[in-house]
Amino acid sequence: MIWISIVDNSMGMLFNHRRQSRDRVLVQRILEITRGHALWMNAYTASLFEPLSPGIHVDERFYERAASGEFVLAETIPPGACEKEIEKVILYHWNRDYPADTYFDLDLTDWKITRTEEFPGFSHDKITEEVYCR
């Protein structure tokens, strides 16, 4: 599976069971990169994509349902428990400091960063996209 997460400067993902921020340009970008492929997420994350686009699958156990080559977008579940199934990681950085109590817990030290790109969001001056492969 291809794991997508959005993090702050401290790799925080969530605070008090809520996303740290949202950006409609980032949502559009995720739809573009996953177009033509399955994109799995839970109901909480699906609220960003209403109405749901074709290819979006909503399941509370999305990280178990995604097959090889399919995408998952995880806001509420850190990837550490699924590490063996993850083929690629796409991280979006808010480039800001937010409070967090749920963190991206996958150690990317031994992963190879294959692409980095910065782009302006709607509510964020700069969002950084990083792509990691094994």
How open is the CA angle 109-113-78, to the nearest 5 degrees? 60
Asked whether the predicted pLDDT for residue 95 surpasses 90, the reply is yes
Please give the residue range of the domain that contains residue 37.
2-133
Task: Look at the chain and report how many structural domains it folds into.
Answer: 1
Q: How far is CA 118 from CA 7, 21, 26, 68, in A?
A: 14, 17, 11, 27
Mean pLDDT value of segment 80-97: 95
Rounded Cα–Cα distance for residues 18 and 117 (Å): 26
Rounded Cα–Cα distance for residues 113 and 103 (Å): 20
Asked whether the predicted pLDDT for residue 119 surpasses 90, the reply is yes
Q: What is the dihedral of CA 107, 109, 112, 115, to 10 degrees?
A: 70
Mean pLDDT value of segment 74-89: 94
The count of other CB atoms within 10 Å of the CB of residue 4 is: 25
The β-bridge partners of 91 are: 5, 130
Domain of residue 98, CATH code: 3.40.430.10
Q: What is the tens place of the pLDDT at every residue in 45-76?
A: 999 998 888 899 999 999 999 999 999 999 99
The pLDDT of residue 2: 98
User: pTM of this prediction?
Assistant: 0.95
Q: Which residues 6+ apart lie within 8 Å of 82 measured at CB?
A: 1, 3, 63
